[in-house]
Amino acid sequence: MHFNIINKNDELVMSLVHYFITEENYTPIVVKGVKDEIWLENLDGPYRIIRINSNYIHNDEQYQFDLFKTKKVVEQIKKKTLSMSMNTLNIFLNLGDNVHMKENEKNISSIKFTNVDEILKDHNIIKVFPHMKDKLIKDKEGIDLIVNVTNDINAKTVEDNKIFTKIFEPKKMVVTPILILLCVVVFIAMYIWGNGSENTLTLLMFGANNRYLVQQGEIWRLASSMFLHIGIIHLLVNMYSLYIIGRQLEGFLGKIKYLIVYLGSGILGSLLSVVVHSSISAGASGAIFGLLGSLLYFGYHYRLYLGTVLKTQVIPIIIINLLIGFMLPGIDNFAHIGGLVGGYLLTMALGVPGKSRKSDRINGTIVLILLVAFLSYMLFGYLR
């Protein structure tokens, strides 16, 4: 005698959840106050949110109220993840025959299924998730289904946890202290072998940025200038900022990517600076803004974990500092803007561990190359 410990509706839920988690990289969302519903998210997926609802809905009034609840939950997720829009797939598994379902609401697509065969015959769902045809479990039931689903999801969870732990576990800083030490050593050297950090000739001797000199072939100034500082306050403010931001981002990106972002964004900031104005400039703030741009891109991809930090810390810091840069004289705000954009694009091109797609990295690389080419043309062609 054969007994099924789960019904057909539960089996369908398990098959769908198994597929979306193991094959499409969706992760479960904990939504308070819901019952017999599964919420999944993948902010890079064709649908950012998938909701699987196995509640029995027997009339239009219940259906309309269910849609209302769905929209409210989606709005909450949008705010948490800093999303302008959130494309949602609403899957009903127990819809009464009297319900007149609206297939599409604003950003919410609704479909209903009662068995696996219906799913596999639905051309719209197969078009969006083509692997479902081969990967959706359809030949298991009861205990066999539970064992398969549990084992596969556990394996996927272990793999995801390894990536998450590797990224977010505390790490020893190496690159950031070296960068701070270099800036401090150069600052002291300007007083030993020059006339101080606020002397124009000393700044130029140690590699300050200047359009005319860069156009004469001293391109190295685009990089050397980020290790110079004009006065002790300038040095202390920048080094403190570098320490605070760098100790987080170095752990997130890894030492090599972090160094590439720092140096690359600093150079891009210097490049935009000499394109816009011809005065002498120096400082690590372009590179530090590059780290903020990098953190912005990284945090966007991990915004389920860092969304609050982005909203309350990173974005306000960027906006406030840019506003201060435009209001106060003597601040090279175009180096800040160039660094910010450079850090964002460099991180896009290098990729975020566990999140970035190949197409994102290619697009980031292309845009970065075009930007550098345009600024180089402006500097060495148009402005000569």
Catalytic positions, written as ranges: 285, 336
Query: Strand pairing partners for 104?
Result: 109
Task: Please say whether the beta carbons of 103 and 2 come within 8 A.
Answer: no
The structure tokens listed for 203 are 């700044």
337 CB contacts (<8 Å, ≥6 apart)?
269, 272, 289, 322
φ/ψ (deg, to 5) at 211: -60, -50
**The amino acid at 23:** E
Pairing verdict, β 37-41 and 88-92: unpaired
Task: Please say whether the beta carbons of 263 and 241 come within 8 A.
Answer: no
Distance CA 147, CA 325 (A): 60
Distance CA 53, CA 38 (A): 7
Question: Whose CA is closest to 339, among 288, 376, 299?
Answer: 288
End-to-end CA distance of the chain: 90
φ/ψ (deg, to 5) at 104: -135, 120
The structure tokens listed for 370 are 């075009």
Distance CA 67, CA 90 (A): 9
Give the three-state DSSP class for 39.
strand
Which residue has tokens 């009662």?
114
Distance CA 331, CA 317 (A): 16
Give the three-state DSSP class for 92.
strand
Distance CA 2, CA 142 (A): 10
**The amino acid at 112:** K
Task: Please say whether the beta carbons of 220 and 207 come within 8 A.
Answer: yes
